[in-house]
Amino acid sequence: MIKKPELLAPAGDLEKLKWAILYGADAVYTGGPLLGLRANAKNLTFEELEEGCKFAHDRGKRVHVTVNIVLHNREIDEVESYVKKLEQVGVDAVIVSDPAIVKIVHDTTGLEIHLSTQQSTLNRKAAEFWYKHGVKRIVLGREVNKDDIKAIRDSVPIDIECFIHGAMCAGISGRCVLSNFLTGRDANRGGCSQICRWDFQLKEDGNELSGENDFTLCSKDLSMLSCLPEMINLGITSFKIEGRMRSIYYIATVVDIYRRAIDEYCNNPDTYQYNKSYENILRNCANRDSVPQFFNFKNDESIGYYNGRVEVSNQDFLGVILDYDEDNELAFIEQRNYIKIGDEIEIFGPKKEVKKMIVKELYDEEKSPIEVVRHPQQKFFMKIGFSVQENDLIRIDRTK
């Protein structure tokens, strides 16, 4: 059997941390109360981190915490006590960008140091430099191709973490200051306004160049699903999913799909077959095109949107199962999107076979028959002729 890479999932808050682990992540990364990016994510308090670490460790999983801001002099003094506290509450590793923080963590704690993608490491010499300075793992820049990864893998005994799914930057990750200059929000302190996705008019000498559609700098998303076997064979230590601001449904779905694909390949590489329906599920979960970006050397105009794009609102996610009454075969459900009699649906849960069915019987909370469930968060009952569990999710069937 091939060695499985770690599947690393984003956890913007404690609830997402638990869902990511329940749905198959081997490790999660999250923000602590200080010194991390993602200013808008609900970063975890020390108490929540402690609870999250216990939840993860009880299940043999790990928690990594971002301490990856670009540090100012005024913040140096608080780093030491902060990282010691992270170690105390059970965190396994810190994701660090600034060399000052690398040194402080190395000198004062036993925490694993993971170098953030914010350092844009793309070559073996840089990897060697960081390895000599106590870094255990490098999160490579998203701009590496497969030869870059192999060269680093072959020359430095450092763990390698690569992004496999999620949003990309139009500029080199961690180097963009468009947001800082144009909106006053610092991308390197977690405040990026994603200005690259805005629509612009492109002009030269007062003449409109952008044509019929407005111009954007926006990159398509990353998806490495189609390259997964190749990535696994490269010996990458950890596969990282982007998206601490994403919903629970997004996290559960993306983790679940990659968990299945990794396990299917590693358990039986000779008979592994690429599952196209996984790709459809991932695409509908994010509403944006996704491609392998730089991995296959193809970094031309096909990896971005330059002349407008359409983002269709996602209505795949239909509901969360809250309870199941075996005797009456009735699931108690909280609605997320319009669901009606006749819908073809899938029900999925952590490490379980995905079950398909057609909706035949719906009931309101008083158990009166209804045809449609219209309202977000509305509670209702559905007849399901097989056993389901709390936290299983319902989505539209996209396999055809």
SS3 call for 34: coil
Question: Do 316 and 396 meet the contact criterion of CB atoms below 8 Å apart?
Answer: yes
Of 90 and 171, which CB lies nearer to ligand SF4 in the complex structure?
A: 171
Q: Cβ of residue 142: shortest distance to ligand SF4, in angstroms?
A: 10
Shortest Cβ 171–ligand SF4 spacing (Å): 4
Written as six digits, the tokens of 42 are 């609900």
Cβ-based nearer residue to ligand SF4, 181 or 297: 181
For ligand SF4, give the closer residue by CB, 65 or 178. 178
Pair of tokens at residue 204: 């030269």
Strands 344-348, 339-340: pairing is unpaired
Evaluate whether 85 touches 67 at the Cβ level (below 8 Å): no
CB nearer to ligand SF4: give 259 or 288: 288
Closest approach of Cβ 168 to ligand SF4, in Å? 8
C-beta of 61: minimal distance to ligand SF4 in Å? 29
CB 130 within 8 A of CB 110: no
The footprint of ligand SF4 (CB under 6 A) covers 169-171, 176, 178-179, 187, 192, 194-196
Separation CA 128–CA 368 (nearest Å): 67
The nearer residue to ligand SF4, 93 or 167, going by C-beta atoms, is: 167
Nearer to ligand SF4, 113 or 178 (CB): 178
How far apart are CB 38 and ligand SF4 at their closest, in Å? Answer: 12
Task: Report the DSSP pairing between strands 362-363 and 379-383.
Answer: antiparallel
| Comparison of 187 and 282: residue with beta carbon closer to ligand SF4 | 187
Please say which residue, 171 or 229, places its beta carbon nearer to ligand SF4: 171
Specify the residue, 63 or 187, whose C-beta has the smaller distance to ligand SF4: 187
Shortest distance (Å) from residue 169 CB to ligand SF4? 3
Which residue bears the tokens 């192999």?
150
For the bound state, the minimum distance from the C-beta of residue 216 to ligand SF4, rounded and expressed in Å, comes to: 10
Give me the DSSP letters along 345-376.
EEEE-TTS--EEEE---EE-TT--EESEE-ST
| DSSP string over 157-223 | --EEEEEEEE---SSSTT---HHHHHHS--GGGT----GGGS-B--EETTEE-STTS-B--PBPEEE
Closest CA to 199 of 212, 187, 186, 189: 212
Q: Supply the minimum distance, in Å, between the C-beta of residue 196 and ligand SF4.
A: 3
Task: Give the separation between CA 175 and CA 70, rounded to whole angstroms.
Answer: 11
- Residue 195 Cβ, how far from ligand SF4 at the closest point, in Å? 5
Three-state SS at 7: strand
Rounded Cα distance between 267 and 5, Å, is 12
